[in-house]
């Protein structure tokens, strides 16, 4: 039976689209998973590292992501989602699961505020992703200060609680709540 299922999906190639690779993974073609990993692991690692400073936690989340893809590729449907977005959703959930799991200790000492002159502009990747993924909202998000954008990204886009976002951003929980309220108010101004 397994052999028949594998024959119904063409063999994966470097030129195969992500959706085709996911169908091949659902058909238990290991090479398709290798291709997906080669294509997506670098940017997943990079984006997850912006949300968690512990490289071991990030590596575990990336590994767990591809295990979840292997087990659940049959759940992907092109009508519901873009393949990369679907993979990102799995990755961020795996990161959150790792962070919420036993043995992980939240950072208890706040990191000092970053001086205004030391702040960096968003990377080119962030600018492009904001514009593509969020349309008008992307433009509004890009107008936010880095601190406000980070707390919105952590809570709204990545699904962290305010407490988890505060720990990841290295600020007190009250500061994260205040920044979140300010960010939402500014976004309302920018979008109206």
Average pLDDT, the chain: 77
| One domain for residues 91 and 129 | no
* Range picked from 21-30, 104-113, 142-151 for highest mean pLDDT: 21-30
pLDDT of residue 99: 74
- Give the span between the Cα atoms of 142 and 122, in whole angstroms: 8
What are the angstrom distances between the C-alpha of 47 and each of 24, 74, 94, 158, 167? Answer: 26, 25, 13, 11, 17
Q: Are residues 90 and 167 in the same domain?
A: no
Give 80-110 pLDDT, tens digit per residue.
568 888 898 889 888 877 776 645 544 433 3
Residues 88 and 124 in one domain: no
C-alpha distances in Å from residue 3, one per residue of 28, 35, 73: 9, 20, 17
The reply to whether 166 and 123 lie within a common domain is yes
**Shared domain check, 80 and 21:** yes
Give CA–CA dist 5/115, Å, rounded: 58
The count of domains in the chain is 2
The CATH code of the domain that includes 150 is 1.10.10.10
């Amino acid at each position: 039976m397994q052999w028949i299922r594998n024959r119904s999906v063409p063999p994966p190639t470097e030129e195969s689209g992500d959706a085709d690779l996911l169908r091949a993974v659902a058909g238990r073609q290991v090479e398709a998973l290798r291709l997906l990993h080669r294509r997506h692991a670098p940017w997943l690692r990079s984006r997850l590292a912006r949300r968690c400073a512990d490289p071991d936690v990030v590596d575990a989340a990336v590994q767990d992501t591809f295990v979840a893809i292997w087990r659940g590729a049959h759940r992907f449907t092109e009508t519901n989602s873009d393949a990369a977005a679907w993979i990102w959703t799995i990755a961020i959930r795996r990161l959150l699961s790792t962070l919420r799991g036993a043995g992980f200790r939240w950072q208890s000492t706040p990191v000092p505020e970053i001086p205004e002159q030391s702040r960096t502009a968003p990377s080119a990747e962030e600018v492009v992703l904001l514009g593509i993924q969020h349309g008008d909202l992307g433009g509004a998000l890009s107008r936010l200060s880095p601190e406000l954008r980070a707390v919105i990204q952590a809570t709204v886009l990545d699904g962290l609680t305010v407490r988890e976002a505060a720990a990841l951003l290295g600020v007190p929980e009250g500061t994260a709540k205040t920044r979140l309220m300010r960010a939402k108010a500014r976004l309302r101004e920018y979008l109206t």
